[in-house]
Amino acid sequence: MIRQLIHVVSGTAWWMSVCALIAASFTVRADDLNDARIRVAINVFPAFIAARSVAPPHPEHIALVFADDGPKIAGIAYALYERLQKSQPKARLSLTRLDALQVSHASDPFTAVFLAQALDDREMKRLLTFARTHHVLSFSPLAGDIERGVLGGIAVSDRILPEVNLQSLIDHGIDLRPFFLKVSAHYEAIRQQ
């Protein structure tokens, strides 16, 4: 009887180990997918900020927003800065913690926000309230953020397209050029009445 119990327990431990390894590989794969989306979005983002119908009166000032100091933030900032220098050499990039976004904007206004990390619902609500209140273009490369209310991002299918949340476009008070809207994927939220 004890021998059978040891066999069942060791078999269970083996399966739990297998499940843990599989879960770890999915976590790594999810991080790899987010990293890939961020790399692609860095190339799409300059087109987004250039697509505004009315350009800001001063050079672009972009906030690279993050919730905590992750190890990848500096690399994302460097890659985004390098890409912006090719298309908009006068653009400035500021690394800004979400909790300091309002204060930083008050001293040196932002024209756009590039989200570098996933946010929980409360943090996302803060970011979107800020963007709508100040008519700042919000952009996230992360899957699902367009559906949560971010104005722009990327649509990944058989090809990569800029994606626009049409309701957020109205809510943010930002106009984009018709051609850009024509070549972009659109997300239209179904509002409950």
Per-10-residue mean pLDDT, the chain, length 193: 43 41 39 83 94 86 88 90 92 92 89 93 95 94 93 91 92 91 84 43
Query: Which pLDDT value is given to residue 142?
Result: 93
C-alpha to C-alpha distance for 46 and 27, rounded to whole angstroms? 30
Query: Which pLDDT value is given to residue 41?
Result: 94
**Among 100, 81, 107, which residue's Cα sits nearest to residue 92?**
81
Q: What is the largest CA-CA distance in the chain?
A: 81
- Contact (Cβ atoms closer than 8 angstroms) between residue 149 and residue 142: no
Query: Which pLDDT value is given to residue 56?
Result: 84
Q: What spatial distance separates the first Cα and last Cα of the chain, rounded to whole Å?
A: 63
Give the chain's domains with CATH numbers. 39-187 (3.40.50.2300)
Give the total residue count for the chain.
Answer: 193
- Contact (Cβ atoms closer than 8 angstroms) between residue 151 and residue 51: no
Query: Which pLDDT value is given to residue 57?
Result: 81
Q: At what angle do helices 73-87 and 2-50 cross, to 10 degrees?
A: 20
Token pair in block for residue 153: 């991002």
Query: Which pLDDT value is given to residue 25?
Result: 37
Query: Which pLDDT value is given to residue 34?
Result: 81
Q: Please provide residue 133's backbone torsions phi and psi, each rounded to the nearest 5 degrees.
A: -65, -40
- C-alpha 23: how far from its chain's center? 24
Query: Which pLDDT value is given to residue 122?
Result: 95
